[in-house]
Every structure is written in structure tokens, then in C-alpha cells.
Structure 1
Amino acid sequence: MRIHLDTNLLIQTPRWERLPAGDHEFLVSAIAFAEFSEGTAHSNPAIAAHAAIELIQHRSTYGDGLPFTQREADIYRELCDLVATAGRTPGGKRRVDLMIAAIAIGDGAALATRNTTDFDGLQPLLSVITL
């Protein structure tokens, strides 16, 4: 199973024991790497340095982030419609979550996260795994 990791699983260690049985391939989107990269600009130099080292380690482990292309932009639009139809606003912080979800959907992958509520209402199109 292909599983995309949400940004929060780059920040906190995933609870791997919660994974469904089987073989898994883990991927990270370029959007998640970009969001994680915010830590490298932290005002505390020690925190910024730690984030920079972790970013290098994550890139080494998961490879280049999967891109957000026109295909994912079209999926993102569908997700915005789905969220708006449910009476929620798709913009703001939710924008990044929807972009990460669009990349996972475009890749035919599930999405693993600690914050499943960030992806509520997307389950018709996206399989969400709590780690």
C-alpha cells in the first residue's frame, strides 16, 4: 500500500504499530516538505538547526517530495467543492491539508496523519490512516 505522510508525522514519530498489516511504501509530498521547512527559519537557532537536520534526514528516507501539478490542482478544486458543500471553508490553514490530500489522491495513495479531523469529509475520495 502506498501511504503519504502528513506533515505532522514528520514532526512527531508515527505510531507505526497502528499500521494495517501488509507491505507499505511511504511517500511525502513537496507541500508537506515545504510546510515542515518552516521550522528551519525558527527564531531560535538551535530549533532551526535541528529542523534543518531533520529535513535532510526525511529527504534521505522518503526521497524527493511528490509534486503538486495541474492534475493535483484539479483534484484540489474538487476537494474545495466537497468541503464547501459540507458547510466548511476550504481556505486558510485547511488549504495546505487539502493540497497534501490532493497529491495523495492523485497518486492513488492513502494518507497517514495524527490529525484525522483535518481531513474530515474527504473520505469518499481519500483513505485516511491514523498514526
Structure 2
Amino acid sequence: MIDYSVIPEGALPRRASISSITLAELSQGPHLTDDPGTRALRLERLQELESAIPSVIPFGAAEARIYGSLVGLVVASGRLPRARRLDLMIAATAAAHDLPLYTRNGPDFLGLEGRVRVVAV
């Protein structure tokens, strides 16, 4: 499963999927700018991602339960979970489906070792 859309192609597995949370994060991007050029670029990237990776894994009850345990791990590691909520929801989705999580933001997932396999690219 992929956390972020701008990952070098060679670093990804042959079959990839994204969490519905990742799709939500990326879908907000075009609407967070007033610049038409930036908006167009973000929309284009989003459409490319959706075409390239049509498998979107929903966030449901199992993922929500795992999310709660991941919040506990983050707190136990001395970090605050509030700023990491979406990342933790993405990690919970990967954990619920026993998938590695490919990300450019490996440090965002510190404290989850043993629960989520994070692959920093």
C-alpha cells in the first residue's frame, strides 16, 4: 500500500493499492490553492494516480480498531498522535490488510515497529 503519490516507480511493488485516507488527502490538494496552475497540476496528479492505482482500500471497523492501538503506540513512544492522525489511519489500513506501507515519510511512522511494516523509499 502506498502512503504518497510522488514515489519513484522503481521503488513500488508490482501491484499497488492506496488507502481511502490517502485518496482523501490527495483529493483535498487541488482545493487548497487559489493558483489555477497549481490546482490543474494537482488535479492531473490525482487523476494519474487513480488511473495507475485503481485499488482503493476502504477504512472500516477493523482499521478503526487498529488505529486506536497505533495511537497507543505513538503515545507510548512519547509522541503526540494528533498531528499524525491521517498517517496513523493509513498505517492502520496497511496493518489490517497485512500490507507493507511504502512512504517517503518514514519518520512519521516511528513507534509502530512490529505492528506495521514501513518501507521508506
Pair in the same fold by TM > 0.5 = yes
**What letter is aligned with 1:6?**
D
Deviation at 1:43, TM superposition (A): 1.1
Deviation at 1:38, TM superposition (A): 2.1
CA contact 1:27–1:65 (8 Å) conserved in 2: yes
Hey, what does 1:63 align to over in structure 2?
54
Hey, what does 1:39 align to over in structure 2?
29
CA contact 1:31–1:65 (8 Å) conserved in 2: no
CA contact 2:62–2:96 (8 Å) conserved in 1: yes
Deviation at 1:27, TM superposition (A): 0.8
Per-residue Cα deviation, 1:63-108 (whole angstroms, up to 9, x for no partner): 142111011000000000111111111112x101100000001111
Q: Which runs of at least 4 in structure 1 moved beyond 6 Å after TM superposition?
A: none
Per-residue Cα deviation, 1:8-27 (whole angstroms, up to 9, x for no partner): xx1x24262x56xxx64211
CA contact 1:39–1:47 (8 Å) conserved in 2: no
CA contact 1:30–1:64 (8 Å) conserved in 2: no
**What letter is aligned with 1:5?**
I
1:60-99 equivalent positions in 2, closer than 5 A: 60-92=51-83, 94-99=84-89
State the distance in 1 between where 2:44 and 2:52 align. 12
Deviation at 1:123, TM superposition (A): 1.4
Hey, what does 1:14 align to over in structure 2?
8
For the aligned residue pairs, the C-alpha RMSD in angstroms reads 1.6
Percent identity of paired positions between Structure 1 and Structure 2: 36
Structure 2, unaligned stretches of length 5 or more? none
State the distance in 2 between where 1:120 and 1:15 align. 24
Secondary structure at 1:89's aligned position in 2?
coil
TM-score scaled by length of structure 1: 0.84
Structure 1, unaligned stretches of length 5 or more? none
Q: 1:29 aligns with which of 13, 19, 22?
A: 19
Secondary structure at 1:26's aligned position in 2?
coil
